Amino acid sequence: MMARALALAEKGLYTATPNPRVGAVLTQDDTVVGEGWHEKAGGPHAEVLAIAGKKAEGGTLYVTLEPCSHHGRTPPCTELILKSGIKRVVAAVLDPNPKAAHGGKVLAGNKVQFESGLMEAEAKELNIGFFSRMTRGRPWVRMKIAATLDGRTALADGRSQWITGPEARKDGHRWRARACAILSGAGTVNADDPRLTVREVQTPRQPLKVIVDGRNEIPEKAKVFEGGNILIFSGSAPARTTAAEHVVLPNKDKKVELPLMLEELGRRGINELHVEAGFRLNGSLVREGCVDEFLLYLNPSFLGDEAQGMLSLPAFSSLEARLRTRVSALERVGEDIRILARPV
């Protein structure tokens, strides 16, 4: 039943942000009588859809996240559960949002049997960005890199279209679509002139486009400005006025203070941040502890020593000092290999 609830929750993968992806299954005597999933902020919660119009009295509700107990855009789900006569609620994981938490205690205090922890790891993984924002105040940062077997991501002049094949590029757009925002840097915008939009897969919304432009270098005619929905972080106020919103967060070098940028994105409700940048910005994000996960596509080709690498990192004095990651998934996508890895 919980596995089914998680499958329902995944339907909100592209749409639920900034809310968590939640699914619910209502049962009577081990028979499913109602299902629901949360589609978008302001819409009905999964519990509401699972219970609506169903015979709920005496039943069991399986839900991937602890039911909320506060008034937000919608009424508390705990009130509906208590009115419906449900006798048992099983949640995969407790809600990390302090405003919405304690729904389980409310239910238990009203003689509803409440349990949590069933398939907890899977539920957290599905909402890894939401948990990051609620517990750390910043989004989950996933850095996508397309490289050759010798670790090269672009020619010496910065050109990188296209290193990987069409299947890998389409797969990369799926990861873009699930993110709340896509981040790139001025170097990538100037070299490749990307749109930073989801095009290869259907999606009802486009992620926010975030550009790190420390010295206000990107041209006004860059494709990234098309359609708006763009936020630029700079190290100083821009000399010209653009349609984009600018946030000035200078560091000591008068570039962008990257950890503070993540905090600002967290305040704006960004759960998952998808990075597609050049090796310099990639390196800066890694050095400043801003990267939670690497999404790496390896193409079976070589570009040689003059081409650009994945990350601009300082030389390590020993093998023990190297940046270590743990591979969480490895899969072939067309002619390329996709690796998911997280810093140890």
Catalytic residue positions? 47
Residue 275 CB burial class (10 angstroms; 0-12, 13-18, ≥19) = buried
Q: Are 244 and 231 in contact (CB under 8 A)?
A: yes
**Would you say how long the chain is, in residues?**
344
Q: What is the DSSP letter of 20?
A: P
DSSP 258: H
DSSP string of 27-75? EETTEEEEEEE--STTSPPHHHHHHTTS--TT-EEEESS----S-SSS-
Q: What is the DSSP string of 71-96?
A: -SSS--HHHHHHHHT--EEEESS---
The number of beta carbons lying within 10 Å of the beta carbon of residue 280 is 15
CA triple 53-59-63, angle to 5 deg:
85
| Token duo for residue 95 | 């809600």
CA distances from 86 to 29, 80, 113, 159, 325 (A): 12, 9, 9, 59, 45
The tokens 């339907």 sit on which residue?
11
